[in-house]
Structure 1
Amino acid sequence: MTETNANLAALSAAGVSVWLDDLSRDRLNTGNLQQLIDTRSVVGVTTNPTIFQTAMSKGSAYDAQLRELAERGADVDAAIRTVTTDDVRNACDVLRPQWEASDGVDGRVSIEVDPRLANDTDKTILQAIELWKIVDRPNLLIKIPATMEGLPAITSVIAEGISVNVTLIFSVERHRMVMDAYLAGLEKAKEAGHDLSKIHSVASFFVSRVDTEIDKRLDKIGTDEALALRGQAGVANARLAYAAYEEVFVGGKRFEALKADGARVQRPLWASTGVKNPDYSDTLYVTELVAPNTVNTMPEKTIEAVADHGVIRGDTVTGTAGAAQEVFDKLAAVGIDLPDVFRVLEDEGVQKFKASWLELIEETKAQLDAAKK
């Protein structure tokens, strides 16, 4: 009999879906993913190019498949597509019971379109549809970045009846545009005769990176007022995003019109929740962002920190928008250029994923070449 951790069970009971921000063939083969589902309340998995690059560079779990792909003459892109979609499909199957039990809300696994397409709307749409067909599982989410070019792609992909995880959202302003893109997609999907109740979406709002960037700028300003604001921006930003979500999906006219046809809310997902500054509590971006209808996708280290000493004290978000706005007003007052912060973070986010993808290509190419020898 496996026992569920009480802290993570409390987090789930408060309306937060616990997702693991990691996937590897080892996790699947050893039963580790199933163990996290059983003992750590995990009901979903997110992946990104960095996660796959790390998984493929460690150990030998992929060797046999890459040898076989090399023998068949597969090129690097085809090999990456096969390996990553196989892992995601298998994870979807592991999480199928969670998907069924939650009426499709959880039990989800995310796979990202090639980050080199982040600024190409048409190619993003085509690859999203292709990945959806290759994985061929109803509990898949296709990750599309919330770049300006990504927004119309989100609408088009949702319109096809495909579920989407919108990633790399840093500002509330962009989050509002993401929610608009989702609603526009639902309206088109309705026109096309799709069953709206089958279309799901999460909006992945990045948390720790906001603190990392803003803290760096506060240190540079160096005044007492500036230094007193360190470590507050990430949580405040996410709380403002939740208030925006409530505005749109809790009684918002546009969504209400779709709700009658079975449309689902686009849940806020807290991403980048591993704490990067050792001065802050390692459960900060979990315990301070507890709210109904949200997802928190965590690296295993953060899940274990919450399991060990996370204090879950119910909803810590609803009704906090006023105080969160005050934090932002103070940041602007001490000289933080917030639009610039969000621009830098988005550009960096896309670049990091592109760099990881290029490393993944190199890693795979080296393994394919070695297999041919």
Structure 2
Amino acid sequence: MTLLDDGTKATTPTTPAAKTPATLRAAQQTKTALWNDSADPTELRTAIEEYGAVGATCNPVIALTCIKQDPDTWIPRLRELAAEHPTAGESEIGWLAVEELSINAAKLLEPAFEASGGRNGRLSVQTDPRLHRDADALVAQAVHFSQLAKNVIVKIPATKVGIAAIEEAAYRGVSINATVSFTVPQVVAVGAAIERALDRRAADGLPEQEFGHVVTLMGGRLDDWLKATVKRDHVMVDPGVLEWAGVAALKHAHHVFQQRGYRSRVLSAAFRNHLQWSELVGGDLVVSPPFQWAKDINANDVPFRTDAIDQPVDPAVLEVLRTKVPDFTRAYDVDGMTIEEFDRFGATVRTLRQFLDASAQLDALVRDVLVPAV
């Protein structure tokens, strides 16, 4: 004990206890699961240990980012992979790096996988977007990826070809995460395909287990596309209205899955605003923000309701979206598009092209390691 000059006791200022992060509170209080939209090891550890994350993602875009952010680790490792596979080209070596990132991330998620019986603790690995026209190739790669680790879940695009591949891969025991998916018609079609696969497995006496299937709806990318159509068509809409489109689609998709008893869960991805987390809390679904989004949500202590998923979007907002933005109705209604129309939906075209470009950039990065400029 320290005494001051006047003989009184000195006191040590106390620091208020740190508040539990909002995402962790939501995970503890509801069925809503948090996944981390990155396989970066440092980010993923923080997301797991502090934010309550129980899943993660790896794909060419993420792998490219990880390599660029940590060249001291990855450039020498790419050279080692090239030496270990002397006949491999840049694309094969790039995908070996994706696999290595995925395996390492999957290990960090094993505790959550075991604790949930396989429902969570999943590491998503995305199939090569260059295979998007070949269902058999997508299935073969999905089966290969599923063998990298026991808790791998494989991303296949929610296109006409991709949905056929999803059903066959799920029948073969691959855990599925749909990607390139932005609309209620797409996620419902994927959910139905997974149900058919599970029923086929049961009919053929194949083992029943928790595959942890999820069906992504990239709400932010839907918002991006609708904003682009409004600008293209010179339509004047309150900008705030457009921030609710993806949220509305996600809420509606979740409720359709619940009503139909689908054994897969909707997954919210491609964040553009915190509503794509806070408005979904309480649902038996997955939210998968990029690490920085989760960090910012927690730093700002974004408020949420434990029954937010059941709070409807303002009908006036839905009415504006329906009357002024035709592609919203196509994206929101279960029968808004046929499966044949999925491939030409604007968000699908944009995102598939971005994923293809990321694959090309990853190839180019590896090429610079294998054949450095002189």
Q: TM-score, normalised by structure 2?
A: 0.84
Corresponding position: 1:36 with 2:47: yes
Equivalent residue for 1:18, pick from 34, 41, 50: 34
| CA pair 210-369 structure 1, distance change in 2 beyond 3 A | same
Q: Is the 8 A contact 2:33 2:285 kept in 1?
A: yes
Q: Is the 8 A contact 1:219 1:226 kept in 2?
A: no
> 2 CA distance for matches of 1:349 and 1:39?
31
SS in 2 for 1:196: coil
Corresponding position: 1:180 with 2:192: yes
| CA pair 122-331 structure 1, distance change in 2 beyond 3 A | same
Distance apart, 1:186 and its partner CA: 0.6
Equivalent residue for 1:214, pick from 204, 214, 226: 226
Equivalent residue for 1:290, pick from 270, 281, 286: 281
Structure 1 stretch displaced more, 337-346 or 99-108:
337-346
Q: Is the 8 A contact 1:3 1:38 kept in 2?
A: no
Distance apart, 1:269 and its partner CA: 0.4
> 2 CA distance for matches of 1:154 and 1:22?
23
In the other structure, the counterpart of 1:364 is: 366
Q: Is the 8 A contact 2:34 2:287 kept in 1?
A: yes
Distance apart, 1:141 and its partner CA: 0.2
Corresponding position: 1:312 with 2:326: no
In the other structure, the counterpart of 1:131 is: 145
Larger radius of gyration: 2
Deviation per CA, 1:266-310: give whole Å up to 9, x if none: 01100101x2xxxxxx42211112133111111111111121221
Q: Structure 1 counterpart of 2:55, which letter?
A: G
Deviation per CA, 1:136-159: give whole Å up to 9, x if none: x22110110101100110110011
Q: Structure 2 counterpart of 1:128, which letter?
A: A
Corresponding position: 1:151 with 2:159: no
Q: Is the 8 A contact 1:283 1:305 kept in 2?
A: no
In the other structure, the counterpart of 1:260 is: none
Matches within 5 A, 1:77-156: 77-133=91-147, 135=148, 137-156=149-168
SS in 2 for 1:141: strand
Q: Is the 8 A contact 2:230 2:236 kept in 1?
A: no
Distance apart, 1:349 and its partner CA: 1.2
Distance apart, 1:198 and its partner CA: 3.3
| CA pair 87-234 structure 1, distance change in 2 beyond 3 A | same
The alignment-based identity, stated in percent, is 24
Distance apart, 1:224 and its partner CA: 6.0
In the other structure, the counterpart of 1:259 is: none
Q: TM-score, normalised by structure 1?
A: 0.84
| CA pair 223-151 structure 1, distance change in 2 beyond 3 A | closer
Matches within 5 A, 1:152-301: 152-219=164-231, 229-249=241-261, 265-273=263-271, 275=272, 282-301=273-292
Structure 1 stretch displaced more, 332-341 or 55-64:
332-341
> 1 CA distance for matches of 2:51 and 2:237?
40
SS in 2 for 1:43: strand
> 2 CA distance for matches of 1:316 and 1:221?
33
> 1 CA distance for matches of 2:359 and 2:260?
34
Q: Is the 8 A contact 2:26 2:32 kept in 1?
A: yes
| CA pair 359-247 structure 1, distance change in 2 beyond 3 A | same
Q: Structure 2 counterpart of 1:334, which letter?
A: K
Q: Give 5+ residue unaligned stretches, structure 2.
A: 1-16, 332-341
> 1 CA distance for matches of 2:44 and 2:279?
26
Deviation per CA, 1:212-238: give whole Å up to 9, x if none: 222333356666666563322111111
> 2 CA distance for matches of 1:162 and 1:37?
24
Q: Structure 1 counterpart of 2:278, which letter?
A: T
> 1 CA distance for matches of 2:195 and 2:221?
27
> 2 CA distance for matches of 1:38 and 1:20?
12
Distance apart, 1:359 and its partner CA: 0.6
Give every structure 1 segment of 4 or more consecutive aligned residues whose post-TM-superposition deviation is greater than 6 Å: 339-342
